[in-house]
Amino acid sequence: MNAQEYFQNELPKKLAADPASARSVGAVFQINITGEGGGSWTVDLKADPPTCKEGTGTADCTITMSNEDFVSIRQNPQASMQLFFQGRLKVQGNPMLATKLQKIL
């Protein structure tokens, strides 16, 4: 599943199924996925209910990676740290929030 499919279909379903868990993260994320199957999404986990909308917005944490790396992380969440240290996963803003995002992804 590429990033477009995930952020347009799967994540909104997860947020709707367990909004309290999503809101416990308490942050707004800007997710930028480059390459084929990519795009930009704002994931607002402060909103009631939490939302995932296509486009850019003001965020507490911005995460940028390729669609290929996104797929790798979906298959193996532990790969995120390796990609971060390789400079392939970029985090702007509060990097501790990025670790909390795995809770809902």
21, 11 contact by CB (below 8 A)? no
Rounded Cα distance, 3 and 85, in Å: 21
The model carries a pTM of 0.93
Handedness of CA 53, 58, 60, 63 (dihedral sign): positive
pLDDT band at 23 (very low <50, low <70, confident <90, very high): very high
Q: Is 5 exposed, middle or buried (CB count within 10 Å of its CB: 0-12, 13-18, 19+)?
A: exposed
Which of these, 27, 48, 32, 40, lies nearest to 99 by C-alpha position? 27
Q: Place 66 in a pLDDT band, splitting at 50, 70 and 90.
A: very high
| Count of residues making up the chain | 105
